[in-house]
Structure 1
Amino acid sequence: MPDLHDVAELAAANGHLAVISTIRADGTVQASLVNAGVSTHPKTGRKVLALVTGGRVKLVNYAAAPRPQ
């Protein structure tokens, strides 16, 4: 399984663009192009994968059905 170092290298090589897939309420997949990279979490100080989206739909879908870490 890739770790954050692998993700950071892949993001840098691809202009920090990534595809994120979330599950809609009806069970279908929503895939979108987003800006992504490794950042420091403001509360915990841990390195995390951060993404920038143009809307809330992906975040709402993710919050409804988060994947285990």
Structure 2
Amino acid sequence: MGGAYEITVKVYPYYGAHNSYGIDEIMIRISDRNELIKFKHLARLKSVVDNLIYRNLCSVIGLTI
């Protein structure tokens, strides 16, 4: 049960209620000393306006994002 674990998490950060601005990947090591190993920005939405248009379009056609 002991030892260290490395976990990679894909994160969709946002601001406000539902305004996403990209996708990040974070790798952390869980042990007696927790560490951030790697951070990588995978994608960035073009703009807040593009994001809002995309979200509105998805809601109109019934897609869950």
The TM-score normalised by the length of structure 2 is: 0.28
Larger Rg: 2
The TM-score normalised by the length of structure 1 is: 0.27
More helix by share: 1
